Amino acid sequence: MKRIYVNEKWCLGCHLCEYYCAFANSNIKNMVDALKDVTIRPRIKIEELQSISFAVSCRHCEEPLCVKGCISGALTIKDGVITIDKNKCVGCYTCVLSCPYGAVSPSDHGVMQKCELCTQNGGEPACVKGCINKAIVFEER
Amino acid sequence: MPINFIHPEYEVIRDFNKCIKCRVCERQCSNEVHKLDPDHNIMTADDSKCVCCHRCVSVCPTKALKIVKSDHTFKTNSNWMPETITEIYRQAESGGVLLSSMGNPKPFPVYWDKILINASQVTNPSIDPLREPMETKTFLGAKPNKIERDKDGRLINNLPPQLELTLPIMFSAMSYGSISYNAHESLARAARELGIYYNTGEGGLHEDFYQYGANTIVQVASGRFGVHKGYLDAAAAVEIKMGQGAKPGIGGHLPGTKIGSDISKTRMIPEGTDAISPAPHHDIYSIEDLRQLVYSLKEATEYKKPVIVKIAAVHNVAAIASGIARSGADIISIDGFRGGTGAAPTRIRDNVGIPIELALASVDERLRAEGIRGNVSLVIGGSVRSSTDVVKAIALGADAVYIGTAALIALGCHLCRSCHTGLCNWGIATQKAELVKRLNPEVGYTRLVNLITAWRHEITELMGCMGINSIEALKGNRLMLRGIGLNEKELEILGIKHAGE
Amino acid sequence: MFREGENENRIPSGCAISGIFSKKGERISGESIIKSISVMHDRSNGLGGGFAGYGIYPEYKDFYALHIFYDTQAAKDECEKYLERCFEIVNLSKIPIKKTRKITNEPLIWRYFVYPLPVRLADSHLDEDEYVVRRVIKINSEIKGAYVFSSGKNMGVFKAVGFPEDVGEFYRLAEYEGYSWTAHGRYPTNTPGWWGGAHPFAMLDYSIVHNGEISSYDANRRYIEMFGYKCTLLTDTEAITYIFDYLVRRMGLTIEEAASVVAAPFWSTINKKEPQEAERLKYLRNIFSSLLITGPFSILLGYTGGIMALNDRLKLRSMVVGERGDRVYMASEEAAIRVIEPDLDRIYAPKGGQPVIVKLNDDVKI
């Protein structure tokens, strides 16, 4: 299965992936309208310390702790992609606590959100498309 | 604080309606132009630091930025131009030599743009490169002036060592030091994929790149940096650098700040010391000395590799080339005065040397007049900007061209001409790890391969128009060229007729 | 007269060519070749026609036969003075012609059978052929109004401005016999025609008739001029003749090898050959790269004892070869062969770049 991988060697810590992610999941057509004067809540986040930086998003684990711990059945795994059903999520934060990567986070609407490989946005994940140094790739490994 | 005489040359224009304050401009500018003003929650810019490299413009996700030339003006004066005045202020302040990078930007004539190419009509069919074979394979190296046969009458292969190129384009010498590790890796990988050669420049060959040796030309320059047996053995050819188009007659200076551990190892000099290439080779004060170095290198490489001698295009270039053609060199490479550099004194870059088009035409003609054109191949560089420049160069008489600046532009260079600051935002002309990593060789090499592949398509299209299906039939085929807006003397030197003739 | 090479104007032209060869060395009358080329009347426009015959001067076969055009008596006097300084002249005469209304403005046309003055030859440190070549180039480039258009042994070129069949009649070629003939009808596009510009073009016993316009012209010319040749006419034919003279006589290539230089196989073809053959072809293409000819051409190269037909690599000009007994026919059109030999054993169109070389049988002495 194709997953998002980050090659830390080429990550510049520019944070553009976060903005492209937020824009892609905003359902607004224009980036300026979507992101101007907005505090973004991206599903991919840059971790950085001094000269090292890399982007972190959902690993789509084969045995996901978040799915295991979900009390309402909102998190499911289908064809390897872990998705969240916003209608079922009760906002208990169990997934947030159980994810070892910190890849699940609360959204603006109270329920949880996470990277779904842009399956709802069509085509290649926005963070991969937007990465200026090919540090984030979407590939089979 | 003393008076600041210098007004910023460029201004950063930000469209605040579009700016989403993602701060990518701030993070990506090594010159620290952009900054978030937390009190007013807006992005600000310090124009005085801007070098106009377009990194921020290129990465801004909402296209909120542009750089414009300042319209701030001095009182109009056709003699004392703003640039001249500013340079005086600079020197009055620093007491130093003005430094610049990349090629001569002054408005000298660009002869490539005054030459037009022919096409077939009626009496001779043009050829469609999509339907017919179009050959661009090129060999560089001396050719024997007689054939030999064995006792059965079969031809004996008496060819001196040759370089075989899939098309007559090579990446010109740019040292590890002047450009980054990743830039070198991009060039080396692209050369291998394309079946051409790249040139190490005078900074030695990083041990990681020995694997690309079959597509590598190694340079031996006046500083002899990184030259040892293994270095010579690794390469496909050895180039003696006598001069560089951007700074004929002077050497080089890579400041100690750029000599980190990797470069120190590759150049075989202590970390942090300045790498200074003397102006002349101190073992070459005349042509007979050059001959000795040519043959020393041939001995060292057991006569298995062609030796290239690279010179800058200067006034008596034809006579110099004629001497080199008799020195045992297999290939002469000539660098015109618009050729690039990582750093050169501005006055030299902008005023010394001659255009490559004229140098090429006169050298080719001189070597033919002396009947020694077959002794050597001729490679030219110094601002070959497009496939048409390549075609014109070959038709004027070059065997192949070197491209340097064009290759760097493919890698992202925006010709901000600030290489000497070492703060290249594109990861090319810098040794700072955080900047070097901005050039991912995977991306870089693909872009180089794309560029040359595109040029190859265009070259074969142009050849097809002329009814030529093999590049060797274009070499020196000056009848395929016409001048436009050139005077008699220029046409005479170029050896071409005027359009309409 | 508007002369080729003047004002540095290059003259492209289309054309018809034809050749006949007897492998047994039987002497064929010039009449056949006239008949053959006349069929292709429409391929020329009356601005040039010519012939080359081999084995036509058996009684003078050891001497160089110089055919020379003179514009004026003064040119003739000057040239003859020069000839006397360089050569022993065995025989000289006007070339016999038949006045016809179709051929006008003829220059003075003279023929000399000569051999180099032994002392001068020895002083020159040149071989006999090279000695003659240099003298011919000197006359053509330096003596105004004189033009040597044939300089081989036991062969001769006859050419003029006019349609080829009229040129043949003008030179009374029916009265000559040779084992090999080539003919040419010219269709130049921008010249009123000059007698010297007609084909065949010859140097020593190499003569070329050519149909085409080569796109590699200036690359070839500038290379070949390094070796003492002067392409004064700026025609393809002149350059091609010098190329063959250089490759075969001076470099010592065989005719076949020379053919694989000027019409070199594509690299894709070379790569498919056996390693040894591939290396040989690669070697030839590499060292003589500037003598590769591109653009359309079909040529007949006549030389002592043989003839070669060759097309460009893409076969952009027509050429067919017919065989009947010991006779081989080569022409731009099949009709030109059928008209003199309707009953052929074989007729075929050679592939682009593939030379057809025909030689006298080994036992034939001429």
Report pLDDT digits (tens) over B461-478: 999 999 999 999 999 999
Handedness of CA B241, B243, B249, B254 (dihedral sign): negative
Q: How close does chain B come to A90, measured CA to CA in Å? A: 32
A135: its two tokens = 């540090």
Query: Does the beta-carbon distance from B433 to A51 stay under 8 Å?
Result: yes
Option in C212, C219, C316 nearest B474 (CB): C219
Instruction: Give the ipTM of the model, two decimals please.
Output: 0.93
List chains touching C (3+ CB pairs under 8 A).
B
Q: Which residue from B minimizes the CA distance to A31? A: B62
B413: its two tokens = 């260079």
Per the CB < 8 A criterion, the answer to whether A12 and B438 are in contact is: yes
Query: Does the beta-carbon distance from B154 to C14 stay under 8 Å?
Result: no
Q: Are strands A45-49 and A2-6 parallel, antiparallel or unpaired?
A: unpaired
Q: Which residue from B minimizes the CA distance to C189? A: B123
pLDDT in tens, C10-56: 655 668 999 999 999 999 999 999 999 999 988 887 788 999 999 99
Chain A residues within an 8 Å CB radius of B22 = 15-16, 19, 35
Query: Does the beta-carbon distance from C293 to B159 stay under 8 Å?
Result: no
- Give the span between the Cα atoms of C327 and C21, in whole angstroms: 6
- Give the span between the Cα atoms of C110 and C114, in whole angstroms: 13
What pLDDT, on the 0 to 100 scale, is given for residue B30? Answer: 97
* Residue A111: pLDDT over 80: yes
Option in A15, A23, A35 nearest B27 (CB): A15
Helix (H, G, I), strand (E, B) or coil at B394: helix
- Give the span between the Cα atoms of B419 and B146, in whole angstroms: 48
Query: Does the beta-carbon distance from B20 to A32 stay under 8 Å?
Result: yes
- With an 8 Å CB cutoff and a minimum of 3 pairs, decide whether chains C and A touch: no
Q: What is the 3-state secondary structure (H, E, C) of A82-137?
A: EEECCCCCCCCCHHHHHCCCCCEEECCCCCEEECCCCCCCCCCCHHHHHCCCCCEE
* Residue A66: pLDDT over 70: yes
Helix (H, G, I), strand (E, B) or coil at A8: helix
Q: How close does chain C come to B125, measured CA to CA in Å? A: 7
- Give the span between the Cα atoms of C153 and B32, in whole angstroms: 84
Q: Cα torsion at B390, B393, B397, B403 (round to 10°)?
A: -70
Query: Does the beta-carbon distance from A14 to B440 stay under 8 Å?
Result: no
Chain A residues within an 8 Å CB radius of B17 = 32
Long-range contacts of B189-194 (CB under 8 A, 24+ apart): B189/B441, B189/B445, B190/B444, B190/B445, B190/B448, B190/B449, B190/B452, B191/B215, B191/B216, B193/B445, B193/B449, B194/B166, B194/B167, B194/B448, B194/B449, B194/B452, B194/B453
Q: Residue A137 — pLDDT band, cuts 50, 70, 90?
A: very high
Q: Does A10 touch chain B (CB under 8 A)?
A: yes
Query: Does the beta-carbon distance from B28 to A13 stay under 8 Å?
Result: no
- Give the span between the Cα atoms of B139 and B145, in whole angstroms: 16
List chains touching A (3+ CB pairs under 8 A).
B
Query: Does the beta-carbon distance from B466 to C287 stay under 8 Å?
Result: no
Q: Which residues pair with A55 in a beta bridge?
A: A46
Q: What percent of chain A has pLDDT over 70?
A: 100
Query: Does the beta-carbon distance from C296 to B124 stay under 8 Å?
Result: yes
Size of interface A-B (CB pairs under 8 A): 54
Per the CB < 8 A criterion, the answer to whether C45 and C15 are in contact is: no
Q: Are strands B237-241 and B216-220 parallel, antiparallel or unpaired?
A: parallel
List chains touching B (3+ CB pairs under 8 A).
A, C
C117: its two tokens = 């003055």
Helix (H, G, I), strand (E, B) or coil at B230: helix
Q: Taking every pair of C-alpha atoms in chain A, what is the biggest distance, in angstroms? A: 41
What pLDDT, on the 0 to 100 scale, is given for residue C1? Answer: 38
What pLDDT, on the 0 to 100 scale, is given for residue A110? Answer: 84
What pLDDT, on the 0 to 100 scale, is given for residue A120? Answer: 84
Q: Are strands C306-311 and C320-324 parallel, antiparallel or unpaired?
A: unpaired
CATH architecture, domain defined by C6-208+297-359: 4-Layer Sandwich (3.60)
Q: By CB neighbour count within 10 A (0-12 exposed, 13-18 middle, 19+ buried), where does B213 fall?
A: middle
Option in A14, A31, A36 nearest B59 (CB): A14
Residue extents of the structural domains in chain B: 10-96, 138-145+166-498
* Nearest to B363, CA basis, from B406, B329, B403: B329
Option in B120, B147, B368 nearest C215 (CB): B120
- Say what the pTM is: 0.93
Helix (H, G, I), strand (E, B) or coil at B470: strand
Phi, psi of C340 (to 5 degrees): -105, -20
- Give the span between the Cα atoms of B405 and B103, in whole angstroms: 8
| Ordered DSSP codes for B269-285 | S-TT--EEE-SS-TT-S
Q: How close does chain A come to B425, measured CA to CA in Å? A: 12
Query: Which are the contacts of B175, defined by CB distance < 8 A and separation ≥ 6?
Result: B200, B201, B202, B203, B204, B219, B225, B254, B342
Q: Which residue from B minimizes the CA distance to C293? A: B473
Query: Does the beta-carbon distance from B123 to C13 stay under 8 Å?
Result: yes
Domains of chain A: 1-57+120-141 (3.30.70.20), 61-114 (3.30.70.20)
- Give the span between the Cα atoms of B217 and B301, in whole angstroms: 13
* Nearest to C95, CA basis, from C4, C179, C159: C159
Q: Is C15 among the catalytic positions? A: yes
- Give the span between the Cα atoms of B459 and A105, in whole angstroms: 55
Query: Does the beta-carbon distance from C226 to B371 stay under 8 Å?
Result: yes
C198, HSE (Cβ side, Cα atoms, 13 Å): 29
Option in B137, B147, B467 nearest C295 (CB): B467
What pLDDT, on the 0 to 100 scale, is given for residue C13? Answer: 61
Q: Does B121 touch chain C (CB under 8 A)?
A: no
DSSP code of residue B373: G
Q: Which residue from C minimizes the CA distance to B128? A: C314
Q: Residue A130 — pLDDT band, cuts 50, 70, 90?
A: very high
Chain B residues within an 8 Å CB radius of C295 = 120, 124, 467-468, 473
Residue with tokens 């470099």: C251
Query: Which are the contacts of A120, defined by CB distance < 8 A and separation ≥ 6?
Result: A25
Q: What is the 3-state secondary structure (H, E, C) of chain C?
A: CCCCCHHHCCCCEEEEEEEEEECCCCCEEHHHHHHHHHCCHHHCCCCCEEEEEECCCHHHCCCEEEEEEECCHHHHHHHHHHHHHHEEEEEEEECCCCCCCCCCCCCEEEEEEEEECHHHHHHHCCCHHHHHHHHHHHHHHHCCCEEEEECCECEEEEEECCCHHHHHHHCCHHHCEECEEEEEEEEECCCCCCHHHCCCEEECCEEEEEEECCCCHHHHHHHHHHHCCCCCCCCHHHHHHHHHHHHHHHCCCCHHHHHHHHCCCCHHHHHHCCHHHHHHHHHHHHHCHHHCCCCCEEEEEEECCEEEEEECCCCCCCCEEEEECCEEEEECCHHHHHCCCCCCCEEECCCCCCCEEEECCCCCCC
Q: Cα torsion at C316, C318, C324, C329 (round to 10°)?
A: -100
Per-residue pLDDT of chain C (366 residues; tens, 9 = 90+): 345 555 556 655 668 999 999 999 999 999 999 999 999 988 887 788 999 999 999 999 999 999 999 999 999 999 999 999 999 999 999 999 999 889 888 999 999 999 999 999 999 999 999 999 999 999 998 999 999 999 999 999 999 999 999 999 999 999 999 999 999 998 876 555 688 888 899 999 999 999 888 999 999 999 999 998 988 777 888 899 999 999 999 999 999 999 999 999 999 999 999 999 999 999 999 999 999 999 999 999 999 999 999 999 999 999 999 999 999 999 999 999 999 999 999 999 999 999 999 999 999 987
- Give the span between the Cα atoms of B337 and C347, in whole angstroms: 60
Query: Which are the contacts of C104, defined by CB distance < 8 A and separation ≥ 6?
Result: none
- Domain B10-96 belongs to what topology? Alpha-Beta Plaits (3.30.70)
Q: What is the 3-state secondary structure (H, E, C) of B148-181?
A: EECCCCCEECCCCCCEEECCCEEECCCCECCECH
- 10-residue averages of pLDDT along chain B (501 residues): 90 97 97 96 96 97 97 95 95 94 94 97 89 96 95 95 98 96 98 98 95 98 94 97 94 87 93 91 92 97 97 97 96 97 94 97 97 96 97 98 98 95 96 96 98 98 96 97 97 97 90
Q: Is the CATH number of domain B138-145+166-498 3.20.20.70?
A: yes
| Amino acid occupying residue B199 | N
To probe the interface with A, which of B14, B19, B20 has the most A CB atoms within 10 Å? B20
Query: Does the beta-carbon distance from B123 to C251 stay under 8 Å?
Result: no
Q: Which residue from B minimizes the CA distance to A130? A: B61
What pLDDT, on the 0 to 100 scale, is given for residue B123? Answer: 81
Q: At what angle are helices C128-142 and C73-86 packed, to 10 degrees? A: 160
Q: Does B484 touch chain C (CB under 8 A)?
A: no
What pLDDT, on the 0 to 100 scale, is given for residue B450? Answer: 98
Per the CB < 8 A criterion, the answer to whether C178 and C54 are in contact is: yes
Ramachandran quadrant class, A110 (left: phi over 0; alpha: psi -120 to 50; beta: rest): left
Q: How close does chain C come to B223, measured CA to CA in Å? A: 35
Option in B59, B434, B440 nearest A16 (CB): B59
Chain C residues within an 8 Å CB radius of B127 = 314
Catalytic residue among C15, C79, C86, C231, which? Answer: C15
Residue extents of the structural domains in chain C: 6-208+297-359
Please give the distance of CA C86 from its chain centroid, rounded to a whole number: 24
Option in B23, B27, B62 nearest A32 (CB): B62
